[in-house]
A and B are shown apart, each in its own frame.
Chain A
C-alpha cells in the first residue's frame, strides 16, 4: 500500500453530522471503553493539528528569527548605508559599486576560488573511497578502524598543532622537506604561492563526513552485491554500479555543503595566517575580508560583499544540482 504513505492534509470539513434519529442507540455493554460517548470529543484531524503546531512552533520561531530573518535583512541592508547613530537610508547600489571597485575584493575572490578548487579536489573524494574500503573489513575490525580513522581533534587544538608543524624553522614539515626529501628550505605558510595548498593539506587527514558514507553503505542490502557477483561483476564494477549510485544522494548533498563550506572558509585560514591573510593577503578569503569590513563598521559594504558571495555560491550549487541528480535510479 505504497499510496497510503503520503497523505493529503486531513480534511475536517467532511460532512460528519449524524442524523439525529440514529443517535439514541444505547452505549455499548459494560466492558467497552466509555470514552466514546464523552461530549466534546474533538475531531482527530484538528487535534493533531494543534499538536503538530506545538511540536513545530519553537523550532519555527528560532528558524525564523535566526535563520530567515537575518537572511532577508542581509539583502535589505546591502541596499542601505547601514549607518550608525542615525536612521538607515537607502542608497541603492552604492555599496555594490564600492565593493566592485575594491581591488582587495577581487584578490579575495581569486584566493577563495583557488582554495575551493584545491579543497574539493584534495579532500572531498578521499573519504568516499576510504568509507567504501573500510566496509570491506570484517565487522569486528570495522568497529575499531572506524574509531581510529574518524577520531576527531578539536578545531582550535588542530590549528595550534599545525601552526607548530608548519613553522618554517623548526616545524616537522620543514624537517621532512629538507632532511628526508633533500629539498631546499621551504617557506610553507610564508609563501604567497604555497600558502593555500598548505592550508588544505590538514583537511586530507581529518575525514569528517566519512561516517555518513559508511552509515549509508551499511544500509545497502547484501543481495545487490550478490546479484552483481553472480553476473560476474568485479571489484571496480561493483563499486561503480552499486556502491557509488547508492551513495549518490549523500555525495551530492555533502558536495553542496563542501562547496558552501569552502567558499566561506574563515576560521582555519584566519588562525593559520592571521586576520590579514598574510603574506600580502595571499590567504585572505572573501569572508576574512568581510570580517575586516565588519571590524571597520562598514556594515553595508560587508553585506554587499556577502550578497556577491551568495550569488556565486548559489550559481555553483545550481550547476551542481543540474549535473548531479540526487536520484539513485537515474
Chain B
C-alpha cells in the first residue's frame, strides 16, 4: 500500500576495532537506488556481506544512511524513526520477545502506541484468522516452547497485525529445515498476494528469490548489479556476474577466439551468433542450451551424471579443456566417459575476454 523509493543510498561502517579506526575504504552500500511499486514484492539476492541486510535496515529505519534518501509514497522518511514508518519486519532469527507469550508479542505494538487493550485483542484475533488453522493456540504458548516453524509464523503475524505499509523480510525462512522451507515459502507468497502489501524480501537463495519476488535485485559488494524479472535476469543479464549468479546449475563460461564470424572453442569451430570483432572473447552457455552427440562438438570428459527424475532430465558434469561444464541431457542419457557437445548457437551469451561486459545476450525465450 505504498510506493517506496530508495535513492542513491551510501552507507559506510568504520573498521571493527573502533578506536582510532579510519572508515573502511569500501562502503557497505554504494549508491544504491531501488523503487518498489505499490503492492510489489522485490527479492534482494546476493551472497553474505553484499549489503542486502544493511539496505533492509535502512529502509526499516534501523540504520541511518550516510547519503541518499528513502521515500514512502513520495514522502522523505530518511530521518523518521522506524516506529513512525509503519513497516513490519521479520528477522532471520524471528526475534520474538522471549519473555512474552505469542499474544504478548502481537500486543506489544499496540501497548507502546497507547492503543486500547480491546483493539489489540481484536486485531490479534483478526490476524489469527488470517494466518489460518491452528494458529490461535500458538498465541497462548510461551515463545521458547515453539518450534522454528511456529516461531516463524508468530513472527509473521506480529509483522502483519499492525497492517504495515511495507513488509521487510530478512531471510525469514533460511533457519527452517528443507521441507518446511518449501511449504512456508508457498504460505508467505500466498499471504503477500492476499494483502497486496509492498515487500522487500532479502535472501541468499536465488531459487527463493525467484519464487518470492515479482522482481529480483541482484546485489554484490554494496551495489545492485541488476533489477528485473527472472526472465530479464536469466536471458538478458547485465553482466557476467549476474549471468553466472542466476541459474542453477550455473552457466558454463568458455574462452573462445573469434575470427571472421567463427568462434573457436576447445578445438571446435562454431558460427558466431552475432558479428563479433576478431580476437579473444568468452562465451556463456546455459546447461539446457547444449546439444549432445553432435560430431562437430567439443570433447567433454564426463565426471558424473546427476539424474533428476522429477524434471525428466539428467545433468552431465564434466570438463571441456579444464573448464567445468554442466550439460542438461535426457533422463536416459547413457553413462559414457566422453561426450561430444555443441551449443545451440542461438542461445549463446557472449562476454568480453576481460572484465564483465556482456556483448550479446539471447533475450527471452519464445515459448509460445
A residues engaging B (CB < 8 A)?
Answer: 1-8, 10-12, 14-18, 22-29, 31-33, 35-38, 41-45, 47
Segment at the interface with A among B9-17, B251-259, B269-277, B357-365: B9-17
Q: How far is the CA of A7 from the CA of B63 in the complex (A)?
A: 10
Whether A44 and B81, one on each chain, are in contact in the complex, defined by CB atoms closer than 8 angstroms, is yes
Whether B75 and A14, one on each chain, are in contact in the complex, defined by CB atoms closer than 8 angstroms, is no
If A4-B53, A15-B67, A31-B163 touch, does A25 touch B81 (CB 8 Å cutoff)?
no
| 19 chain-A/chain-B pairs, Cβ below 8 angstroms | A1-B54, A3-B16, A4-B53, A4-B54, A5-B16, A6-B18, A12-B79, A14-B64, A14-B66, A16-B79, A22-B75, A27-B75, A28-B165, A32-B86, A32-B163, A33-B162, A36-B86, A43-B64, A44-B62
Q: Which A residues are in CB contact (< 8 Å) with B77?
A: 36
Whether A43 and B79, one on each chain, are in contact in the complex, defined by CB atoms closer than 8 angstroms, is yes
Partner of B76, one of A22, A28, A31: A22
Whether A32 and B165, one on each chain, are in contact in the complex, defined by CB atoms closer than 8 angstroms, is yes
Partner of B81, one of A27, A29, A42: A42
Whether A36 and B72, one on each chain, are in contact in the complex, defined by CB atoms closer than 8 angstroms, is yes
If A25-B74, A29-B1, A44-B81 touch, does A6 touch B13 (CB 8 Å cutoff)?
yes
Q: Which chain B residue lies CB-closest to A36?
A: B84
Whether B79 and A37, one on each chain, are in contact in the complex, defined by CB atoms closer than 8 angstroms, is no
Q: Which chain B residue lies CB-closest to A13?
A: B66
Q: How far is the CA of A29 from the CA of B74 in the complex (A)?
A: 13
Q: Which B residues are in CB contact (< 8 Å) with A35?
A: 83-84, 86
Q: Is the interface of A mostly helix, strand, loop or mixed?
A: loop
Partner of B66, one of A2, A6, A11, A37: A11
Other A-B pairs beyond A32-B86, A41-B80, 12, CB < 8 Å: A1-B54, A3-B13, A8-B13, A14-B64, A14-B65, A14-B66, A25-B73, A33-B162, A36-B77, A37-B75, A44-B61, A44-B64
Q: How far is the CA of A3 from the CA of B82 in the complex (A)?
A: 22
If A28-B2, A29-B1, A31-B1 touch, does A44 touch B79 (CB 8 Å cutoff)?
yes
Whether A28 and B74, one on each chain, are in contact in the complex, defined by CB atoms closer than 8 angstroms, is no
Q: Which A residues are in CB contact (< 8 Å) with B12?
A: 8
Q: How far is the CA of A42 from the CA of B61 in the complex (A)?
A: 12
If A4-B13, A22-B71, A25-B73 touch, does A10 touch B64 (CB 8 Å cutoff)?
yes
Partner of B67, one of A3, A14, A24: A14
CB distance from B280 to the nearest CB of A (A): 37
Q: Which A residues are in CB contact (< 8 Å) with B189?
A: none
Residue B23, interface by CB 8 Å: yes
Q: Which A residues are in CB contact (< 8 Å) with B75?
A: 18, 22-23, 25, 27, 36-37
Q: How far is the CA of A18 from the CA of B5 in the complex (A)?
A: 12
Whether A36 and B1, one on each chain, are in contact in the complex, defined by CB atoms closer than 8 angstroms, is no
Q: Which B residues are in CB contact (< 8 Å) with A42?
A: 79, 81
Q: How far is the CA of A10 from the CA of B58 in the complex (A)?
A: 12
Return the 6 tightest CB-CB contacts between A and B, nearest first.
A25-B74, A18-B76, A33-B86, A35-B84, A8-B14, A43-B79
Whether B71 and A18, one on each chain, are in contact in the complex, defined by CB atoms closer than 8 angstroms, is yes
Residue B175, interface by CB 8 Å: no
Residue B216, interface by CB 8 Å: no
CB distance from B239 to the nearest CB of A (A): 24
Partner of A1, one of B49, B61, B71, B79: B49
Q: How far is the CA of A86 from the CA of B110 in the complex (A)?
A: 64
Residue B78, interface by CB 8 Å: yes
Q: How far is the CA of A145 from the CA of B54 in the complex (A)?
A: 48
If A8-B23, A22-B76 touch, does A41 touch B84 (CB 8 Å cutoff)?
yes
CB distance from A33 to the nearest CB of B (A): 4
Q: Which B residues are in CB contact (< 8 Å) with A12?
A: 64, 79
Partner of B73, one of A2, A15, A18, A26: A26
Whether A33 and B13, one on each chain, are in contact in the complex, defined by CB atoms closer than 8 angstroms, is no
Q: How far is the CA of A24 from the CA of B73 in the complex (A)?
A: 10
Residue B28, interface by CB 8 Å: yes
Whether A7 and B13, one on each chain, are in contact in the complex, defined by CB atoms closer than 8 angstroms, is yes
Q: Which A residues are in CB contact (< 8 Å) with B71?
A: 18, 22
Whether A47 and B81, one on each chain, are in contact in the complex, defined by CB atoms closer than 8 angstroms, is yes
Residue B333, interface by CB 8 Å: no
One digit per residue, 1 when the CB lies within 8 angstroms of any chain A CB and 0 when it does not, for chain B 15-50 equals 010100001000010000000000000000000110
Q: Which chain A residue lies CB-closest to B65?
A: A14
If A3-B28, A7-B14, A28-B165 touch, does A16 touch B73 (CB 8 Å cutoff)?
no
Q: Which B residues are in CB contact (< 8 Å) with A23?
A: 74-76
If A1-B48, A28-B73 touch, does A45 touch B84 (CB 8 Å cutoff)?
no
Q: How far is the CA of A12 from the CA of B80 in the complex (A)?
A: 12
Q: Which B residues are in CB contact (< 8 Å) with A31?
A: 1, 163
CB distance from B165 to the nearest CB of A (A): 5
CB distance from B340 to the nearest CB of A (A): 46
Q: How far is the CA of A14 from the CA of B11 in the complex (A)?
A: 10
The interface centre, meaning the residue of A3, A31, A45 with most chain B CB atoms within 10 A of its CB, is: A3
Partner of B64, one of A28, A36, A45: A45
Q: How far is the CA of A31 from the CA of B73 in the complex (A)?
A: 14
Q: Which chain A residue lies CB-closest to B85?
A: A36
Q: How far is the CA of A44 from the CA of B61 in the complex (A)?
A: 8
Whether B16 and A6, one on each chain, are in contact in the complex, defined by CB atoms closer than 8 angstroms, is yes
Residue B219, interface by CB 8 Å: no
Q: How far is the CA of A1 from the CA of B82 in the complex (A)?
A: 21
Q: Which chain A residue lies CB-closest to B73?
A: A25
Residue B328, interface by CB 8 Å: no
CB distance from B146 to the nearest CB of A (A): 23
Q: How far is the CA of A14 from the CA of B9 in the complex (A)?
A: 10
One digit per residue, 1 when the CB lies within 8 angstroms of any chain A CB and 0 when it does not, for chain B 94-125 equals 00000000000000000001000000000000
Partner of B1, one of A2, A25, A32: A32
CB distance from B85 to the nearest CB of A (A): 6
Q: Which A residues are in CB contact (< 8 Å) with B74?
A: 22-25
Residue B69, interface by CB 8 Å: yes
Whether A27 and B80, one on each chain, are in contact in the complex, defined by CB atoms closer than 8 angstroms, is no
Q: Which B residues are in CB contact (< 8 Å) with A15?
A: 67
